[in-house]
Structure 1
């Protein structure tokens, strides 16, 4: 039987224009967390609400950049109410000044993703078998 997250599991929003990466991250996380996926900055803004606990956000999104998404989200809700892990193919000094909780360099590993999720939203309750 498929495991599902408990109703009180943290909500994670994955934002990346690379659909294969976003979908892979979702598959990894969906057994322990409630997961939402957005493939663009604009979609991320539509998908985000106050129930989101953690955002994995691609820095280099086409159109509305990850940095712009972060600024808009911070205007909408208290930035301390959710954590942000920036995903970047080429981390540099420009990321050091961003108000994010962590930066992961692509390609990310399953361990990187779970370590970040556990660090910022705690260990999710283990999903129970149906």
Structure 2
């Protein structure tokens, strides 16, 4: 069943080569947002357009890395026009240097995802996270 949202609903692009994770995040978020899913860096570049308000981007994508995808997106459009949450399996100080608005360490919780989305697109956090 496809969710219907008002036209001013933010659009979120989820990018992760772990299909189960990307699909789970999409299921969570599609209750509140327009959601697009990409399973590779190249798919992410194809799925991104001016309608995207927020990108959840896996750092360690095979082939085209999350950092490379982000660099290309920043070349295409003003970085201030969309938010970026990097997803990383490895926490560390080097993550602070990423040109992202937020970094979440996997495994992520539903609360982590909704809180990050709420901060970056100005939406209210999800009340019922069960």
Residues 13, 2 of structure 1: alpha-carbon distance in 2 compared, 3 angstrom cutoff: closer
Match of 1:5 in 2: 5
* Long gaps (5+) in structure 2: none
Partners in 2 of 1:6 and 1:104 — Cα distance? 28
TM-score, normalising length: structure 2:
0.91
- If asked which structure has higher relative contact order (CA below 8 Å, sep 6+), I would say 1
Mapped contact 1:57–1:87 kept (Cα < 8 A): yes
- 1:2-81 to 2 correspondences below 5 Å: 4-81=4-81
RMSD: 1.7
SS in 2 for 1:57: strand
Match of 1:105 in 2: 105
**Structure 1 residue ranges, 4+ long, deviating more than 3 angstroms after superposition:** none
Partners in 2 of 1:40 and 1:2 — Cα distance? 23
C-alpha displacement of 1:3? 5.2
* Long gaps (5+) in structure 1: none
Partners in 2 of 1:47 and 1:88 — Cα distance? 21
